Chains A and B, each alone.
Chain A
Amino acid sequence: MTSTPVSPAPATTPAKVSLTGRLLRNPTGLVSLVILLLVVLVALFGSFLAPKDPDAASLSTILAPPGTDGLLLGGDSAGRDVLSRLLVSTQISVAAGFVALIVALVLGTAGGLVAGYRGGWFDTVSSWLTSLLMALPGMIVLLAARAVLGPSVFTSMAIFGVLMAPAYYRLVYASVTSVRAELYVDAAKVSGLSDPRIVARHILRVVRAPVIIQSAIIMGIALAIQSGLEFLGLGDTETPTWGSMLNDGFANIYKEPILMLWPSLAIAITCTALVLLANAMRDELEQSRKPRRRRNAPAAVVERADTVATHPDDAHSPRGETLLSVRDLVVGYAQRDGSTKVVVHGIDLDVRRGEVHGLIGESGSGKTQTAFGVLGLLPAGGRVVGGSIVFDGTELTGLKESEVRKLRGVRMAYIPQEPMSNLDPSFTIGYQLTEPMRVTKGMSKAEAKEKALALLARVGIPDPERTYKAYPHEVSGGMAQRVLIAGAVSCEPDLLIADEPTTALDVTVQAEVLDLLRDLQAERDMGLLMVTHNFGVVADLCDRVSVMQHGRIVETGPVRGIFTDPRHEYTRALLEAVVLEDGDPRGELGATPAAAPAAGTTGDATDDNEEVHA
């Protein structure tokens, strides 16, 4: 009974399709695999396919254009058949590329395995060597090596393999150190498996896929560097390679520029195919961790609560005008398959001026999504699917982003849950406080600073001048939350939306921050929508409360009425949780009749929009 239908049981498809299988179904992957297969075939059998002797020079066909004398692609500067040379050179170019690949693979993987698994001095030395190798520009090293060792393409590719080994080393090292700490490796050790077997069984399996992806990229780089070297004329001019053919073409660039086309095409197509293959493999790997794409995207299904237990206002309820009026609000997230996962199922909510309205529910009940929906700050993919949000007479749904923005900060403001991550680490607190005032209210720098200092003093910061100049990491969590509260009220909003503003704070600081919020709200006659999971906070602070469960409001009314006469099972369960333990009732309180419909569904709306495993 959730919005997303349960996907058919994956009985028809094996739970884990091999990477190769998935690659073949990925169009990019398939095309690049076919191209690479062709290249390998040409490399293997090129010398048999060549119509002429690739080294047979002929005066008559020097720089012959394509098609003359039966030479399909013409002749080069010595009159040799370009097509034959291209076929034969593929063999040498690819083989030399493999030399680099294998040297890098063996050195890097072995080094990474030993260093990561054993640690100690080997780790220190090899890590240092790795950064040394990575600090050097490869081309210069290759040139220096060539000066000593001579022009063989295989030697330089072997050296290039050494230079590329750090790429594997880092990959394997990182995986090994993270896997080494895993329990199952300890378990394997305890059960008496020898080190090599543990490595082979558990660790190599983890790094296999990333190593294959890396190999495709390294092969591409090796081919590019190799042809670059040969192109410079630093290779062995006797052996035909793509690079040396290019060199020959470049020497005759004014006479027969087309000579450069064939080796260029060979290099470009092979390298692109390799990189695309790596990308396709990476995409498929990432996708396999997410639910597979479904073809028939179902429409969003909205479940409405049958009844909302509503308590009448009592003598204590504030009588201010309605500031925020939410009707039938539906919030949903677009899914990969095109459907919408609904997390708020058509709720009604009113916040009056001068009132503190608690919105209570456990994680995943949709309360934070409601708050973001009202503010127009839903994360990527999220949107208000239906219903209306009227703020002080203005309908917000369907309003342009630029118009909602004019309300934010100035008319309605937001206090986040986690103080530290909600301050930009790169700017001083003073800058972050004054910037919105200067932008939205057009204040001068001096005015804004004066006001910011006054606000910091107001929210109980002992040394406003110092905090003003401080960076976020220099203040405590409690101070940071006070700064965020100061920022939220800095432009005198009418409505304040606080999303669990005390959850991340120490218990001693929590009470102080709640007092502060209460004082500010009363002194400025604001409406305050207090999102929380804690009935203790509600009892402390709120005038009215709405109880939310599974994206629906199940009970609403004045706090007093709900505390004395909770009508909904879920409200009672939440209240009991406070009595049992005056802490965070974060666990699932699911064993109530009202929760029963949700049992066995594919996943509930979560406040932080967690990935749902269908």
Chain B
Amino acid sequence: MRRLVSGVVLVFVISAVAFSLLYVSGGDIARRILGVNATQATVAQKTHELGLDRSLFSQYTDWLGSALSGDFGRSWFSGQLVSESLGQRLPVTLSIVVGATLLAAIVSVVIGVLAAVRGGWVDRVVQVISVLGFAVPGFLVALALVLFFAIDLGWFRATGYIAFADSASGWLQSVTLPVLALSLAVIASVAAQIRGAVIDALARDYVRTLRSRGLPTGRIVVRHVLRNAGGPALAVLAVQFVGLLGGAVIVEQVFALPGIGQLAVSATSQGDIPVVMGLVIVTAVIVVVTNLVIDLAQAYLNPKVRLS
């Protein structure tokens, strides 16, 4: 409950900070919308029209009031409702980000545990991969995937998005490469973390005691070690999930997916402040919700937290 309150406060603070930073450039905004040829008078009129001549505080309270009722205003350029365009684009981004997180979680648990339990060359291979995956920027991976699988081999669509509701197989085809591109870097770092957490958990006294009771090592790893390594692994995944929201910006551009990342790029290059504002809020809410979910999951995994 306290977490929920602090999360809400966080969203408010971010909105206030972002709003004041974005709107402080005041007069320029109308000029940018209208172009360099607009007369001073039309610029002034536009500024007034957009309410930019009022005090920052009253602008913010106005924005906040309508934002709370779900109205984030309209785009200055396309005139589309911000909430509407966010609503259209969010599923695209979420499908690749959630997909990448799930894929990364599964793959990194498998290889992280293997590296920790088997050691030897498996361990070394995992370590090399995790260094490379961490070092090579994700968009280079995305570009390589496009070149190879989509352009050379033609197995997947290089660009575009097909909604799941329209065609399930088409959706799968359109998100596979982006999900792969996004998840590789995550796998690299999460697998390394899981490897560490498992090695840590394996060295615990209770593992030895469980072995002394005649339990097979495999069972101990799956039941006891993974359960105890789950907490740290979840925390890492949460951080990665937030990071993926940023990574999605680039991957959406590479694969021409109409997600919020692409919206973010076009809105920022145009200076479409209401859209940028809406994006910031949506991301902040996603971050807060993610952290809440992780807290709940942690409480489920750890009996000590659950009871207190």
Q: Which residues of A contact B (CB under 8 A)?
A: 132, 135-140, 143-148, 220, 224, 227-228, 231-234, 246, 250, 253-254, 257, 260, 264, 267-268, 271-272, 274-276, 279, 375, 377, 379-380, 401-402, 405-410, 413-414, 416, 418, 421-427, 432, 435-436, 439-440, 471, 473-474, 484, 487-488, 490-491
Contacts and interface: CB of A to CB of B under 8 A. Distances in A.
B106 interface: no
B279 to A, nearest CB: 7
25 contacts: A137-B287, A139-B247, A140-B279, A140-B280, A143-B279, A144-B22, A220-B135, A224-B138, A228-B250, A253-B143, A267-B136, A268-B140, A272-B132, A272-B136, A274-B135, A413-B213, A416-B205, A418-B205, A422-B205, A424-B228, A425-B304, A471-B303, A471-B304, A473-B303, A487-B213
8 closest A-B pairs by CB: A139-B246, A409-B214, A414-B212, A224-B137, A436-B213, A275-B135, A409-B213, A272-B135
Interface in B125-148: 131-132, 134-140, 143, 146-147
Interface in B1-54: 10, 13-14, 18, 21-22, 24-25
Contacts of A246: 143
Given A234-B268, A271-B135, 4 more contacts: A375-B212, A424-B206, A425-B228, A435-B215
B64 interface: no
A144 B276 contact: yes
Contacts of B22: 144, 147-148
Contacts of B214: 405-410, 436, 439-440, 491
A268 B204 CA distance: 39
Question: Could you say which of B213, B216, B223 has the most chain A C-beta atoms within 10 Å of its C-beta?
Answer: B213
A280 B236 CA distance: 23
B151 A439 contact: no
Contacts of A436: 210, 213-215
A145 B25 CA distance: 12
Given A271-B137, A276-B135, A137 B246 contact: yes
Contacts of B279: 140, 143-144
Interface in B246-300: 246-247, 249-250, 253-254, 264-265, 267-269, 271-273, 276, 279-280, 283-284, 287-288, 291
A406 B215 CA distance: 9
B242 interface: yes
A440 B279 CA distance: 57
A163 B18 CA distance: 15
Given A136-B14, A148-B22, A426-B227, A254 B242 contact: no
A482 B9 CA distance: 48
A108 B246 CA distance: 22
A20 to B, nearest CB: 22
A482 B18 CA distance: 59
Contact of B276 (A143, A405, A406, A473): A143
B10 A140 contact: no
Interface string B223-241: 1100110000000000000
Contacts of A473: 303-304
B213 A440 contact: yes
Contacts of B280: 140, 144
B13 A377 contact: no
B124 interface: no
Contacts of A250: 143, 254
B300 to A, nearest CB: 10
A246 B147 CA distance: 14
A416 B268 contact: no
A406 B216 CA distance: 9
Interface residues of B, number: 70
B206 A132 contact: no
A527 to B, nearest CB: 16
Contacts of A379: 203, 208
A88 B219 CA distance: 58
B131 A276 contact: yes
A253 B146 contact: yes
A264 B143 CA distance: 9
B135 A135 contact: no
Given A272-B132, A377-B208, A232 B18 contact: no
Nearest to B219: A439
Question: Could you say which of A132, A228, A421 has the most chain B C-beta atoms within 10 Å of its C-beta?
Answer: A228
Given A139-B247, A144-B22, A232-B250, A260 B213 contact: no
Nearest to A231: B139
B116 to A, nearest CB: 11
A331 B54 CA distance: 82
A471 B18 CA distance: 46
Nearest to A142: B246
Contacts of B176: none
B102 to A, nearest CB: 19
Contacts of B273: 147
B84 to A, nearest CB: 20
Nearest to B228: A426
A413 B228 contact: no
Given A139-B247, A144-B22, A268 B136 contact: yes
Contacts of A254: 151
A148 B17 CA distance: 13
Contacts of A488: 212-213
Contact of B302 (A139, A275, A426): A426
B291 A135 contact: yes
Question: Could you say which of A220, A377, A425 has the most chain B C-beta atoms within 10 Å of its C-beta?
Answer: A425
B209 interface: yes
A143 B265 contact: yes
B268 A253 contact: no
B268 to A, nearest CB: 4
A137 B283 contact: yes
B245 interface: yes
Contacts of B228: 424-426
A276 B206 CA distance: 36
Nearest to A254: B151
B210 A140 contact: no
A232 B304 contact: no
Nearest to A372: B208
A139 B211 CA distance: 47
B63 to A, nearest CB: 15
Contacts of B204: 421
A409 B212 contact: yes
A176 to B, nearest CB: 24
B245 A135 contact: no
Given A147-B273, A426-B303, A473-B304, A132 B13 contact: yes
B86 interface: no
Contact of A260 (B143, B245, B303): B143
B208 A147 contact: no
Nearest to B249: A139
Contacts of A147: 22, 267-269, 271-273, 276
Contacts of B291: 135
B243 interface: yes
Question: Could you say which of B134, B204, B212, B271 has the most chain A C-beta atoms within 10 Å of its C-beta?
Answer: B212
A253 B147 contact: yes
A223 to B, nearest CB: 8
A435 to B, nearest CB: 7
A250 to B, nearest CB: 7
Given A144-B280, A408-B212, A416-B205, A427 B131 contact: no
A271 B250 contact: no
B301 interface: yes
Contacts of A232: 249-250, 253, 265
Contacts of B211: 377, 405, 408
A444 B157 CA distance: 53
B269 A414 contact: no
A416 B208 contact: yes
A279 B212 contact: no
Contact of B246 (A138, A279, A402, A490): A138
B137 to A, nearest CB: 4
Given A137-B243, A426-B227, A148 B131 contact: no
